């Protein structure tokens, strides 16, 4: 599991002063990038090798609101991977308040080549994922 920290900016909030629901998907994406970096890799490297990991499914549940200037802790981990796909799970909490579960989520990613056709997860990525589970 990797923890990524992000601060809510004013532009992330809606008229009610809470984080707009779609912004949690951005927080998930930010955490995924930190996940790869924490393991010595990057999504950019995968793309250079011709491997793309588009999101093919997303789910989010909202438990409590985050507000402007809150520091959030986004926990991310690999919850599943197969020959040509992988899934990440997420928890978003307010920093300093571990009991404050704000949101949970999951993204499923296909592994495709530059041509958009499914391909096997690269061996280096499989090793990274095995270390993370």
The span from the CA of 38 to the CA of 4, in Å, is 10
Q: Are 67 and 14 in contact (CB under 8 A)?
A: no
pLDDT tens over the chain, length 133 residues: 999 999 999 999 999 999 999 999 999 999 999 999 998 888 888 899 899 999 999 999 999 999 999 999 999 999 999 999 999 999 999 999 878 999 999 999 999 999 999 999 998 888 888 876 6
The reply to whether 12 belongs to the active site is no
The catalytic residue among 14, 69, 80, 115 is 14
Looking up residue 41, the CATH number of its domain turns out to be 3.10.129.10
pTM of the model: 0.92
**Total structural domains within the chain:** 1
The three-state secondary structure class of 122 is: coil
Q: What range defines the domain where residue 81 resides?
A: 2-132
Burial string for 56-93 (b: 16+ CB within 10 Å, else e) reads: eeeebeeeebbeeebebbbbbebeebeeebbebbbbbb
Give the C-alpha distances (Å, rounded to integers) separating 23 from 38, 48, 60: 23, 27, 11
């Amino acid at each position: 599991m990797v923890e990524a920290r992000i601060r809510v900016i004013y532009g992330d909030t809606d008229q009610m002063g809470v984080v707009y629901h779609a912004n949690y998907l951005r927080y998930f994406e930010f955490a995924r990038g930190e996940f790869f970096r924490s393991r010595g890799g990057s999504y950019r490297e995968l793309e250079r090798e011709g491997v793309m990991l588009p999101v093919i499914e997303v789910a989010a549940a909202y438990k409590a609101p985050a507000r402007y200037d809150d520091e959030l802790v986004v926990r991310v981990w690999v919850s599943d991977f197969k020959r040509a796909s992988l899934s990440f799970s997420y928890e978003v909490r307010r920093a300093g308040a571990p009991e404050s579960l704000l949101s949970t989520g999951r993204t499923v990613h296909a592994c495709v080549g530059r041509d958009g056709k499914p391909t096997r997860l690269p061996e280096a990525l499989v090793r990274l994922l095995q270390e993370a589970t």
